[in-house]
A and B are shown apart, each in its own frame.
Chain A
Amino acid sequence: MVSRIKVGASPDRQSLRSAVDYHLEVTLAKHTHNATPEDYHLALALAIREPVIRAMNATEERVLKAGAKKIHYLSMEFLIGRLLANNLRNLGLYDTCAEVAADMGVNLADVLESESDPALGNGGLGRLAACFLDSLASLSYPGYGYGINYQFGLFRQTFLNGFQREQPDNWAVHGTPWHVERRDQSSMIPLYGRVEGDLDDSGQYNPHWMDWNSLIGVPADIPVVGYGGRCVNFLRLYTARAPAEFDMAIFNEGDYLRAMERQVAVETVSKVLYPSDSAEAGRELRFIQEYFFVACAMRDIFRRHGVAGHRIDDFGQFNAIQLNDTHPALAVVELMRTLIDEHAVSWNQAWEITQQSMAYTNHTLLPEALERWSATLFGRVLPRHLEIVYEINRRFLGEVALRHPGDAARLQRMSIVQEQPHKEIRMAHLAIVGSHSVNGVAEMHSELVKSQLVPDFYELWPERFNNKTNGVTPRRWLLNCNHRLATLISAELGTGWIADLNQLARLEPLAADPAFRRAFRDIKLQNKADLAQRVRTVTGVSIDPNTMFDVQIKRIHEYKRQLLNALHIIHLYCRLSEDGTALPCPKTFIFSGKAAPGYVLAKLIIKLINNIARVINSDSRVNRSLRVVFYPDYKVSVAELIVPAADLSEQISTAGYEASGTGNMKLAMNGALTIGTLDGANVEIARDVGAENIYIFGLTAEQVVERRLAGDAARQVYETNPDVKRVLTRLTDGTFSAEDRDLFAPIVRALLDQGDHYMHLSDFADYAQKHQRAMLDYCDVEKWSARAIINVARSAHFSSDRTIHEYAADIWDLKQVI
């Protein structure tokens, strides 16, 4: 007997307790005396699962009944984070659950802490997808995610002597209560083979895709609980399985082994998430992963289209498909193939449907980061698809040639097929050609997409290009991770802001209220104390919550410039230890982030930061004024701990490189002031919070380009700025590398001999000056609190709810189903 838990109605403590007891005893076969926090977590999650599933089924019924158009969000990554706490808050059951846990003699915080993060993504792109799913459900849009159920997510990061070490992250090894397997909705996915063409009855070319190998995509849903608990959508993730497992005839031992090898090879497809920036370019397995999930998704979308009673002709009217970067761009071809080959739709009609359905989000301005696949590999794995790509390209170039006769260079630039130096398929071009909308993710980025990245396409189809500035969900990133602040806000404004972040603007007058500022400060201090306690447990380093917490939490990459931050810390250390100059206020620098396993320089930067931390933290001359911590194994749950505790948010990418950023939004929303460049969404944050409430420094994107053309700016800075010279000298004089003075020589070479591509030295002086300003400002606690409150009050624009409303109105033509 399992007690029903009513969702949406008043929390029912007794039935929740009964359900937890039941699952603990019956499902998990445990008793309270031998149950671990993991057991309680599972029992609690299973207890909640029932009403969640019912709500998910009810939501699907409503959508079906309404005959509503759906949005299918295709992404190789979904960085969803821990689910139990988020689901409890969205269901309105958190407090009830805390009471039940207390009744059972269990600390809810410990239980929640035992849940592992599903690390199904590398960073911002995957987390954006997760925020979007939350907003879709919270706003009652019929929106669904499609992706891969990676067994091993992003690697687990540990440090050995300050160096990053990677270990497999088998996130679901203890099982996850949130998977709802849907074996009956599995799909057969063909790969490889060849195309044999003949003529059909009407004399038309009739290609047959023959001799393929197949794998089966088995879906499992993760419910996506919207705020309020009424709308529950799902994220459908696919696992690759061999078509027939042990149900094969075994002829002899040789065949058996080959069959098992093949099974292992097939199941590798969904085994591991590729860490980004790795040399996956050209890797066949990655290509197969991309096709696998796209093909599974398209089959499922067609199936659900049929279940809803719609006709094939109306596919575009009822299905919007968003391509999160170019990774799912094969969906353009797969949709064409399905319509033409399996539903006998004419090319022109199929193309119209495809463009009507598809929309592409670009996330990078680096041309070298745009995906290209060797035509040889493409044709070997997907021979029929390559034919379709060539035909798409032929027709597309015909259109271009009509507009620009005789312009062979333009055709070469725009072609989906790059001929030289190697024949490759340009996936961004395919995505653009096959979509009715192409959006960037911040105003500046979207302008640069048009003017720099793909100007030819913008010239051809200006109406397709638009901007959709990224956003973050205020449920996870304020209500859940900073519940103290959320409670304070709700006490002043009511709880309407949770689903309508525009209401935060009403906080602004409270920045002038000393009592509110004090309460705000107290919360920040408590959050910092929590973080300090965790830092001590995890790293052994003691940090003082009364110092300024200066955080840089994101993937480690040269363009994000953790190195600039590190160089500045060395500068502060030198001022303290050599010049005897006190800092205006004591500071704690907190880093967290992972470097791709193959990214040598990024891993060296991690080592540098760890070495700086070791030296500074043990130097009694400075360690009351300055501390450095690198919190290991950055993931969503770590971000949820650090974001509420931050005073200063480092968003210091080289201008022109960060498409948007979303960490910048989370931190501002939680009352951190930003020190940053005019890059990505920083520009819009600066505009909204006001110049007096942010620290902008450094070269603009245009100035970066000019500076590069002007010559060896880095060397000039080195020669003329004694602070810079001192810092770089410390990198190679053993101060931070007693064991090997040459350890950080590659960093110095990158800065001085290889042109300092990311402008660390050019931006150093202004960066240091703004930091000095920030430290001085921090000493005025009342004014700092006021500015922090204003950051929160003016962060409404950066809610993913706003972003999703814009997508729904401008790109998807999507209506809410209440």
Chain B
Amino acid sequence: MLMEEMPEGDCLVISLMEQRLDAVIAASFRETLVDRIDRGCRNLVLDLAQVGFMDSSGLGALVFVLKHLVHKGGRLHICGVTPGVMAVLKLTRMDRVLKTFDTRQAAVAA
């Protein structure tokens, strides 16, 4: 699984450099982000600009990360949501729970 990490201000920006967030990478995706949270990350910005497709496993991993982060008092912002990913968020009404932003800057600034 390809990922880039960049601290920006008090956020950690993680860009997922994969076209699909699906059953193949969902477990390692979740493990990696949980690890960052357990190591102290509380403001996480997830950049999904490269992700064109997300299945229920990918969404499940995302939801798990969100809950884990919120439980620790943190916040998750998502940016670069492609139409394919947004369709899944809308299907599952997760768009009303996950905070999404049009740009990375807006996600970080918020």
Instruction: List A residues at the B interface (Cβ < 8 Å).
Output: 188, 190, 193, 198, 200-201, 206-214, 243-244, 248-249, 341-344
Contact = CB atoms under 8 A, between A and B. Distances in A.
Contacts of B87: 188, 342
A719 to B, nearest CB: 67
11 contacts: A188-B88, A193-B56, A201-B96, A208-B94, A208-B97, A209-B93, A210-B56, A243-B53, A243-B55, A343-B90, A344-B96
B74 interface: no
B68 interface: no
Contacts of B56: 190, 193, 210-214
B24 interface: yes
A217 B105 CA distance: 37
The 4 A-B residue pairs with the shortest CB-CB distance in the complex, in nearest-first order: A342-B90, A249-B24, A200-B96, A212-B56
B53 to A, nearest CB: 8
Nearest to A248: B24
Contact of B92 (A200, A210, A243, A248): A210
A193 B87 CA distance: 17
A344 B95 CA distance: 10
B63 interface: yes
Nearest to B94: A208
Interface in B59-90: 59-60, 63, 87-88, 90
Interface of B: 20, 22, 24, 53, 55-56, 59-60, 63, 87-88, 90-94, 96-97
Contacts of A249: 24
Contacts of A206: 93, 96-97
Nearest to B84: A188
Contacts of A212: 56
Contacts of B96: 200-201, 206, 344
B55 A214 contact: yes
A207 B93 contact: yes
Contacts of A198: 97
Nearest to A196: B63
A606 to B, nearest CB: 47
Given A198-B97, A200-B97, A209 B22 contact: no
A261 to B, nearest CB: 15
Contacts of B97: 198, 200, 206, 208
A344 B97 CA distance: 13
| Overall SS of chain B's interface | helix
Contacts of A248: 24
Contact of B93 (A190, A213, A341): A341
A190 B60 contact: no
Nearest to A337: B91
A213 B60 CA distance: 12
Given A207-B93, A208-B92, A213-B56, 5 more contacts: A201-B96, A206-B97, A209-B91, A210-B63, A211-B56
A160 B97 CA distance: 63
A210 B97 CA distance: 14
B38 to A, nearest CB: 23
Nearest to B87: A188
A249 B20 CA distance: 12
A244 B55 CA distance: 11
A201 B91 CA distance: 18
B93 A208 contact: yes
Contacts of B94: 208
B90 A244 contact: no
Contacts of B60: 210-211
Contacts of A207: 93
A341 B59 contact: no
Contact of B91 (A213, A244, A342, A344): A342
A190 B55 CA distance: 9
Contacts of B22: 244
A526 to B, nearest CB: 59
Contacts of A344: 96
Contacts of A214: 55-56
A207 B55 CA distance: 18
Contacts of B20: 244
Nearest to B20: A244
Contacts of B92: 208-210, 341
Contacts of B59: 210
A327 B13 CA distance: 48
B18 to A, nearest CB: 11
Residue among B22, B53, B87, B92 with max Cβ neighbours from chain A (10 Å): B92
Contacts of B55: 214, 243
A214 B88 CA distance: 11
Contacts of A244: 20, 22
Nearest to A259: B23
A190 B91 contact: yes
Contacts of B93: 200, 206-209, 341
Contacts of A213: 56
A343 B90 CA distance: 8
A201 B98 CA distance: 11
A200 B63 CA distance: 14
Contacts of B88: 188
A344 B94 CA distance: 12
Contacts of A208: 63, 92-94, 97
Contacts of B91: 190, 209, 341-342
B87 to A, nearest CB: 7
A213 B59 CA distance: 12
B56 to A, nearest CB: 5
Contacts of A342: 87, 90-91
A187 B24 CA distance: 21
Residue among B20, B56, B97 with max Cβ neighbours from chain A (10 Å): B56
A209 B88 CA distance: 10
A211 B57 CA distance: 6
A341 B90 contact: yes
A206 B98 CA distance: 12
A72 B87 CA distance: 23
A520 B101 CA distance: 75
B75 to A, nearest CB: 14
A210 B54 CA distance: 12
A102 B53 CA distance: 54
A211 B88 CA distance: 12
A344 B90 CA distance: 9
Contacts of A200: 93, 96-97
A342 B92 CA distance: 8
A198 B94 CA distance: 10
A213 B96 CA distance: 22
Residue among A208, A249, A341 with max Cβ neighbours from chain B (10 Å): A208
Residue among B20, B24, B59, B96 with max Cβ neighbours from chain A (10 Å): B96
Nearest to A251: B24
A248 B26 CA distance: 13
A296 to B, nearest CB: 14
Residue among B55, B88, B91, B97 with max Cβ neighbours from chain A (10 Å): B91
A206 B56 CA distance: 17
B2 to A, nearest CB: 13
Residue among B59, B88, B90, B93 with max Cβ neighbours from chain A (10 Å): B93
B96 to A, nearest CB: 5
A249 B88 CA distance: 22
B29 to A, nearest CB: 14
Contacts of A343: 90
A206 B93 CA distance: 7
Nearest to A197: B93
A501 B96 CA distance: 56
A243 B57 CA distance: 13
A583 to B, nearest CB: 68
A9 to B, nearest CB: 42
Nearest to A213: B56
A342 B94 CA distance: 10
A208 B91 CA distance: 8
